[in-house]
Amino acid sequence: MLDLAGKNALVTGIANNRSIAWGIAQQLHKAGANLGVTYLPDEKGRFEKKVRELTEPLNPSVFLPCNVQNDEQIEETFQAIGEKWGKLDILIHCLAFANREDLTGEFVDVSRSGFATALDISTYSLARLARAAKPLMTEGGSIVTLTYLGGVKVIPNYNVMGIAKSGLEMSVRYLASDLGPSNIRVNGISAGPIRTLASSAVGGILDMIRHVEEIAPLRRTVTQNEVGNTAAFLCSDLASGITGQIVYVDAGYEIMGM
Ligand code: NAD
């Protein structure tokens, strides 16, 4: 049975009720995990308010700001978790960012700073958070990140985010190798296209979803909850032998050649 009772889970990347991280948080909670939530702080505190209200029913026992470009905030987050929980079992890395102008047109036009920003937030952050989490995963652990087919195949407009996801998927393998001896598993979920705040920045996202609905074996795209269910499985003891893998939750789209 899928049972996460007694497990402490930190979920990053909730922005609103469409966020994939929200789907994951709900499924982890349903399976009995004790939740911690981080949000991206902004000057007016709008994200904080929204994420606090949204997640209240799940009773997160840790609720902290964490911009993954800010090492101090990362350290403070994991220090607070160490003090409050003693140990961490689950880390959900469910965030990404690229400038809107780099998610349309041609990849050849990407700027140096746009490339660096996308890779710093979307790729490097996984290794950085894993490094901070490792000392707290004293009884082993599970780290799950979110990726997309655009990191493996060319998808129009995905551009620099494809490079970021490619690096992220390779990071999953290197981290799985590094952390495996500590019984920490690292996996990625490659989700089909879902309408969210982040995906709305990718040019032509609605066309992408329509295309998937026509072509995918299940003739539809997937929901946040379906991704959440797979994340809960990967974080559970049912998946104790799985690490370094990318699991496609995409209604089968990835297998199609034509
Ligand atoms: P979303 O906009 O709900 O989530 C993106 C999150 O990233 C937000 O919560 C935002 O606050 C956070 N974020 C951005 N910059 C940050 C920073 N510097 N520090 C901390 N957090 C930061 O969109 P989503 O689609 O749920 O995205 C979640 C993950 O799923 C991303 O990695 C995305 O690439 C991936 N993904 C999305 C889809 C899709 O179609 N929506 C498909 C496959 C993979």
Ligand 1 binding site (Cβ under 6 Å of any ligand atom) = 13-15, 18-21, 40, 66-69, 94-97, 121, 146-148, 191, 193-194, 196-199
Q: Is residue 2 part of a domain?
A: no
**Looking at residue 220, what is its pLDDT?**
98
Of all atoms in ligand 1, which is nearest to the CA of residue 14? 9
**Ligand 1 centre and the CA of 248: distance in Å?**
17
**Looking at residue 252, what is its pLDDT?**
98
Count structural domains, the chain: 1
Per-residue confidence band for 1, with pLDDT thresholds at 50, 70 and 90: confident
Q: Is residue 3 part of a domain?
A: no
Does this model's pTM top 0.95?
A: yes
The size of the chain, in residues, is 258
What whole-number distance in Å separates Cα of residue 122 and Cα of residue 217?
Answer: 29
Q: Is residue 256 part of a domain?
A: no
**Ligand 1 centre and the CA of 20: distance in Å?**
7
Task: Characterize the bridge pairing of strands 34-39 and 90-93.
Answer: unpaired
Q: Is residue 218 part of a domain?
A: yes
Instruction: Give the mean model confidence (pLDDT) for residues 57-83.
Output: 98
Q: Is residue 126 part of a domain?
A: yes
39-64 residues labelled b (16+ CB within 10 A) or e (exposed): bbbeeeeebbeebeebbeebebebbb
Instruction: Give the mean model confidence (pLDDT) for residues 242-256.
Output: 98
**Ligand 1 centre and the CA of 7: distance in Å?**
24
State which of 16, 52, 95 you would mutate to test the pocket of ligand 1, scoring each by most atoms of that ligand within 8 A of its C-beta.
Answer: 95
Of all atoms in ligand 1, which is nearest to the CA of residue 198? 2
Report pLDDT digits (tens) over 88-145: 999 999 999 999 999 999 999 999 999 999 999 999 999 999 999 999 999 999 999 9
Domain interval for residue 69: 8-251
Instruction: Give the mean model confidence (pLDDT) for residues 229-245.
Output: 98
Closest listed residue to residue 203, CA positions, set 114, 98, 111: 98
What whole-number distance in Å separates Cα of residue 35 and Cα of residue 24?
Answer: 11
Q: Is residue 139 part of a domain?
A: yes
Q: Is residue 229 predicted with pLDDT exceeding 90?
A: yes
Q: Is residue 171 part of a domain?
A: yes
Report pLDDT digits (tens) over 8-55: 999 999 999 999 999 999 999 999 999 999 999 999 999 999 999 999
Residue nearest to atom 41 of ligand 1 (CA): 194
Write the CATH number for 93: 3.40.50.720
Closest listed residue to residue 102, CA positions, set 33, 163, 39, 170: 163
What whole-number distance in Å separates Cα of residue 65 and Cα of residue 41?
Answer: 5
Of all atoms in ligand 1, which is nearest to the CA of residue 69? 18
Closest listed residue to residue 191, CA positions, set 35, 66, 23, 47: 23
Report pLDDT digits (tens) over 176-209: 999 999 999 999 999 999 999 999 999 899 999 9
Q: Is residue 12 part of a domain?
A: yes
187-223 residues labelled b (16+ CB within 10 A) or e (exposed): bbbbbbbbebebbebbeebeebbeebbeebeeeebbb
Q: Where are the alpha helices (DSSP H) in the chain?
A: 20-30, 46-55, 71-85, 112-119, 125-133, 159-179, 205-215, 224-235
What whole-number distance in Å separates Cα of residue 14 and Cα of residue 233?
Answer: 19
Instruction: Give the mean model confidence (pLDDT) for residues 173-178.
Output: 99
Residues involved in catalysis: 148, 158
Per DSSP, the three-state class of 42 is coil
